[in-house]
Amino acid sequence: MTVNSNRSTTVGPRRRVSGKVVEKGAASVLVQKPVTKHATITLTQANSAVRAYLAGMKTK
């Protein structure tokens, strides 16, 4: 199995993740996930983004 590092691939029938392909079976591809977790925004940041968008709407 050729190892391609850090490419996006399909795991099982319906999930796409980024990671390192470590083994390929008949029905699925096993992926070793990156060590660092995907950083996500906080609810406060989301609230701020929505407020900024709505404030922009009001000034148009």
Partner 1 sequence: MAASSPRDVFINCPFDDDFAPGFRALVFAVLACGFRARCAREMDDASETRIDKLYGIIEQSRFGIHDLSRTELDAENSLPRFNMPLELGLFLGAKRFGDDAQRKKRALVLDVEPRRYAKFISDLAGMDVTPHGGDARRMVECTRTWLVTVSKRKRIPSPVQLMGSHDRFQTGLPAIAHAAGLEATTLAYPDYERLVLGWVKAERLAGRLP
The backbone region for 34, taken as left when phi is positive above 0, alpha when psi lies in -120 to 50, beta otherwise, is beta
Record the tokens describing residue 7, joined without a space: 């490419």
Tell me how many residues contact partner 1 (CB under 8 A). Answer: 26
Is 48 a residue that touches partner 1 (CB under 8 A)? yes
Residues linked to residue 29 through DSSP beta bridges, in sequence order:
24
Taking the complex as a whole, the smallest distance from the CB of residue 6 to partner 1 amounts, in Å, to: 16
Spell out, one character per residue from 9 to 28, where the chain touches partner 1: x when CB under 8 A holds, - when not. -x-xxxxx----------x-
> Are the C-beta atoms of residues 18 and 34 closer than 8 Å to each other?
yes
Residues within the interface to partner 1 (CB under 8 A): 10, 12-16, 27, 33, 37-38, 40-43, 45-54, 56-57
